[in-house]
Every structure is written in structure tokens, then in C-alpha cells.
Structure 1
Amino acid sequence: MEQIFIRKARLSDMDALLQFEQGVITAERPFDATLKNGLIHYYDLHQLLTAQHIRLLVAQCGDELIGSGYARIETAKPYLQHQRYAYLGFMYVLPAYRGKGVNKMIIDALKEWSGAQGITELRLELYNENEPAIKAYEKAGFSRHMIEMRMGL
């Protein structure tokens, strides 16, 4: 297998990023009955690529993009110990490359970028029933924190 490396995403990566977005949505549909049917979009990819407070990374193996993830600097609630944190999202790895440490490579690079921005807290959201993802993020050093609840009316 060719070497995998992580780099900042570029506008020229848009086609792959759109495919990754649909991969994220497909993976999450079984956990969320509130998602609309048909084609939907989660992300403003242009903003993820161009905003100064966001770092969108891709994993590349040879000429193929195989994964993605971003860190977005957010303002924390005033009662928390930290003033800002980095929210991680758009974490995706092509199925053929899962279990090879690609997600960890992306997280490590996002941690490095976030730390260079003075950030001391990382956060992300997962569906409560997505145990494989929860276990993977716990293995990467994250811990369970809160559960969001909802009720349809």
C-alpha cells in the first residue's frame, strides 16, 4: 500500500469532498429519522475550505483522496474553563481504508493545528447508537460528555 499523508484540502478537491459528504450522510441515516429523504447536504464546503477559523484536511493515498475532517474554532459558553474550543466534524474515511489509522492521522493533524491556534479543548458529536464510532473516538482519547435528547411533536 502506498503511503498515506494528510494535507490541507483545496478547492480542486471539491468532487471528492462532495462524495465524502454523502458518505457521512449515508452512514448517519440509520441513526437519525429526522433527516430529509433524498439528496441533502450537511456542509458549506466552500466555507470549510476558505474560512480562517476552520482547517479542513484530507487524507491522500497516491492520487486518491481517502478521508477528511475539519476543526472549527468556536467560542465556548462563558461559564466554561476554556474560552474557545475546536469542534471536529466531517470525519470520513473511505470504507476500503477504515481500520488503518487514517482517522487518527486526521485527528492528530487537527489537534496539532488547533493547539497552534491556542486551543486546549476538542469536541465532536456522535449519535448515541453509533457504538463503533464512539469506541473509535474513545480509543483516540475522547470521553463521553453529554447526551442530547429530542422529542418530536
Structure 2
Amino acid sequence: MMTREATEQDLEVLLEFEQGIVSAERPFNSTLRDGEIHYYDLLQLIQSEDSLVLVTEENNEVIASGYARIKKTENNYSDFDQYAYLGFMYVKPEHRGKGVNKLLLDELIRWARTKGISEVRLDVYAQNESAVKAYEKAGFESLLITMRMKT
């Protein structure tokens, strides 16, 4: 298993992964519209100096993805000015439970540290218990729960 930077040649499989993420999140989010949804501008993320898109390969097959993007803090009361936001975390179903996500997390966090970033954040649906447990095991802690209501 090997992790590397994603390239434009990976876009086709990355777009498939994006739809896999959307499918996995639909049960947790009733506000998602029907049909194909695109959360990310993957080409921009691949090309940006302020982000890193990684893929994991096994036997020359891309099996997982994730990104880190440097974002500016939107308030003036945090003890940091920038943070790394992690997203696009996807592992093909047949490769889950093998530590692939942890491998990606470690590499993305390492990249953030090289950029002088000490705060790392991500979003996960509270009802996605397996993902919450995986991120807690990796050292993340819950900070805020977003509440919603349809009127």
C-alpha cells in the first residue's frame, strides 16, 4: 500500500469516490437533493498550493482518497489564524478496516505541520458512528454539533 499526491489523471476515479461519499452520506442528511451532487472542485484542490489531495494505491489500483486544505479562521477569538480542514475521506468498501484511512490521516496531518498548521478539523455526521469512532481513535475530539430544523 502506498500513498501519493493525486494528479489530474486520477480525476475519473476521484469523481467516482465523490459519488460514493454522497451515497454514504444520504442516510444521514435528508437535505441532499436527488441526483448527482458534487461537493468538491477536485481539479482546483489538486492544483492549489493551499491544499493536498492524496490517494492510496494497492497493486496499482487507487483505493482511497483524502484532502487537507488550509483555511483562514473566520473569527477573531480563536488561538489560531489558520487551520487544516480535512475532507474527501473515502476508502473503497472492500479495503475498509485495513488502516487505510489512518494512513491518509497521518500523511495529511504531517503535511499540515510542514505548513506550520497546528489545528486540524473535519466534519462527520454524528449518526455515522463508525466514522466518529475512527476519527476519535485517530485523536480527534468532538467540538460542535450542528442542529437543524425544517419549518
TM-score (ref. length: structure 2):
0.97
Counterparts of 1:98-113 in structure 2, within 5 Å, are: 98-113=96-111
Gaps of 5+ in 2: none
Distance in structure 1 (CA, Å) of the matches to 2:49 and 2:105: 18
Which residue of 4, 20, 25 maps to 1:28?
25
Query: What residue identity is the alignment partner of 2:136?
Result: E
Pair 1:120-2:122 in alignment: no
CA distance in structure 1 between the aligned counterparts of 2:52 and 2:148, rounded to whole angstroms: 30
Runs of 4+ in 1 over 3 A off after TM superposition: none
The two structures, once aligned, show a CA RMSD in angstroms of: 0.7
**Alignment deviations for residues 78-119 of structure 1 (CA, whole Å, 9 cap, x no partner):** 210111100000000000110000000000000110000000
Distance 1:133 1:100 in 2: 14
In the alignment of these two chains, the number of paired residues is 150
CA distance in 2, matches of 1:61, 1:116: 26
Structure 1 segments unaligned to the other structure (5+ residues):
none
Q: In structure 1, the residue corresponding to 2:2 is in which secondary structure?
A: strand
Asked if 1:81 corresponds to 2:57, the answer is: no
Q: CA deviation at 1:39?
A: 1.1
Q: How far is 1:48 from its partner?
A: 1.1
Q: What SS does the aligned partner of 2:3 have?
A: strand
Residues in 2 aligned to 1:48 and 1:25: alpha-carbon distance in whole angstroms: 18
TM-score normalised to the size of structure 1?
Answer: 0.96
Distance 1:33 1:147 in 2: 16
Report percent identity of matched pairs.
51
Q: Is residue 60 of structure 2 the alignment partner of residue 63 of structure 1? A: yes
